[in-house]
Amino acid sequence: MKRTALSVGGLALGGMIMMTGCGGSLDGAAADATSAASVSLAAQRNVMEEAREQNSRTFVAPDPAKATDYEAAANGSPGFKALAGATVETDRWAGVLNGAAYRIEVPRNWNGKLVMYAHGYVGTVGNLLVTMPSIRRHLIEQGYAWAASSYSKNWYDVRAGVEDTNALALNFKKIAAERGRVVRAPHKTYIIGHSMGGHITGAAIEEETYKTVVNKQKYDGAVPMCGVLGDTELFDYFGAYQMAAQALAGYANTPSTGFSAIAGSVMGSLFTTFTTAPTDQGMKLRQVVKHLTGGERPIFSEGFANSGLQSVVWGTFGRDGTVNGILNKSSVDTRRFVYQLDDDPGLSAEEQTFNDLVQDLTGDPDANRLRSDGLRWIPKVNGQFKVPVVSIHTLGDMYVPFSMEQIYRRRAEANGNGNLLVQRAIRAPSHCDFTIQEQVDAFEAMINWAENDVKPAGDDVVTPSTVADSRYGCAHTRPAVQGVDSAGVVATRQRMPACS
């Protein structure tokens, strides 16, 4: 057994995920990223609200002049270098807004539309990080301006991410003027993001967000990619996975927060090599995880065997349910899960026994309640939105699993908004490991829908027989291209089962 997972035991939501498309840091400085008037209002309201560990953490915005691609903008203010080989000229500005670093790029022949980019989780570190959109070349060559915030806080602070991204959008015209370029306000503003940034993207367009956020920004369309679209249900999944794993290894009654003491033994019981060679008990875990993550489907096998990403998932085990101090109490609730050891949706006697054996985790129903001082600590993706959404998700993602899309679908349908949501399954085995073309296709599909009322094609993510088809995901999966996509994505895609 390789004990690679043990070395990441201390990582937060996933630790440092530096995969294609999952940019840097995240978290934001929520309520304090605002106009003076709304700040003071928030401060007044804040008196009645409890504090939390995240509030006391401090963060450092990077100095734009120290970036490896630093280049002064035309008027001498901080900027960054042009994209190599870009066919259009742009203005590029870097700076700090309300404690969050940002980058903005505006083509000289700007089309009047702004795309906000929300990056993924950076980790439990103090240094903030700005990440540029993976489809930067496409955006600027099509005339779009883009802007990206580091957010003013790290950790899993979606509240800060939404506030700081909105604040940057609201300040776009003002920043341009300060840099010597007079622009009109964007006539369309869109939002796209990866992973935790997909959560931010989904949350940013929610009615509850418009009502409770301090920095109020409306969006005309959204593209969440590999997004945490089930919001806190992601942490329920981690909890269920852990409790099933330890039960299969003979530790059903060990407290969830006691995992570090049994981690090695659990892994040794379930794998001869983590996670590519499961034992008989490990094969049962594989079934459990398959159904927790979206059901029988192509690329699940490759995803389960992706030991690097699985190590990140196992690194979340043993937590106390507060998402590392984002909440004050645990929100994790596993009671609704039915653990499947086979592909029959019914419960066999063995499954019944197993479900009785696995410990339930029960969170505090108020752990992530509505607040009077702004967004919830973990903003919700309720499925209450009024703009077109095109989401993409890889089928083999064990970290932010495909089931997030199924949850989003059900929530949108429950609120009568299923007609505004198009989802696309991508045949890849990791987290956010999309090709550039898949991301460009999703973006253009959303734009054409928002602006020309042409609803794009998508995949049914909830019908089990459809999702289980061996060709599921072929419709929107696009080949990796050498020199365009990362070497890792190019290599990985060659190992995926062909669609033809």
Helix ranges (DSSP H) in 249-306: 259-270, 280-292, 300-304
Q: Which two tokens stand for residue 484?
A: 């365009």
> Considering beta carbons, is residue 342 or 360 the nearer one to Ca ion?
342
Q: Which strand ranges, in their side-by-side order, compose the sheet holding 90-97?
A: 90-97, 100-107, 145-149, 113-118, 188-194, 222-225, 389-394, 421-426
SS3 349: helix
> Considering beta carbons, is residue 86 or 468 the nearer one to Ca ion?
468
User: Measured from the CB of residue 351, what is the shortest distance to Ca ion in angstroms?
Assistant: 5
By CB under 5 A, residue 342 contacts Ca ion: yes
> Considering beta carbons, is residue 284 or 393 the nearer one to Ca ion?
284
Q: Which two tokens stand for residue 281?
A: 């008990």
- DSSP lists the bridge partners of residue 92 as 105
The sign of the CA dihedral 288, 293, 295, 301 is: negative
Kindly state the number of chain residues that form the binding site for Ca ion, as judged by CB under 5 A.
Answer: 4
User: Measured from the CB of residue 341, what is the shortest distance to Ca ion in angstroms?
Assistant: 6
CA nearest 173: which of 250, 257, 232, 114? 114
> Considering beta carbons, is residue 294 or 383 the nearer one to Ca ion?
294
**For Ca ion, which residue of 37, 58, 184, 344 counts as binding (CB under 5 A)?**
344
CA terminus-to-terminus distance, the chain: 36
> Considering beta carbons, is residue 119 or 284 the nearer one to Ca ion?
284
In the complex, which residue's CB is closest to Ca ion?
344
User: Measured from the CB of residue 354, what is the shortest distance to Ca ion in angstroms?
Assistant: 10
User: Measured from the CB of residue 118, what is the shortest distance to Ca ion in angstroms?
Assistant: 38
CA dist list (Å): 126 to 23, 54, 61, 123: 16, 11, 9, 9
User: Measured from the CB of residue 337, what is the shortest distance to Ca ion in angstroms?
Assistant: 13
Q: Which two tokens stand for residue 113?
A: 């539309």
Crossing angle between the packed helical segments 196-204 and 158-170, to the nearest 10 degrees: 60
User: Measured from the CB of residue 402, what is the shortest distance to Ca ion in angstroms?
Assistant: 20
> Considering beta carbons, is residue 164 or 351 the nearer one to Ca ion?
351
> Considering beta carbons, is residue 206 or 351 the nearer one to Ca ion?
351
By CB under 5 A, residue 350 contacts Ca ion: no
By CB under 5 A, residue 349 contacts Ca ion: no
User: Measured from the CB of residue 467, what is the shortest distance to Ca ion in angstroms?
Assistant: 17
Phi, psi (degrees; rounded to nearest 5) at 425: -90, 135
Which of 49-57, 115-123, 340-348, 431-439 is the region at the interface with Ca ion (rule: CB under 5 A)? 340-348
Applying CB under 5 A, which residues contact Ca ion? 340, 342, 344, 351
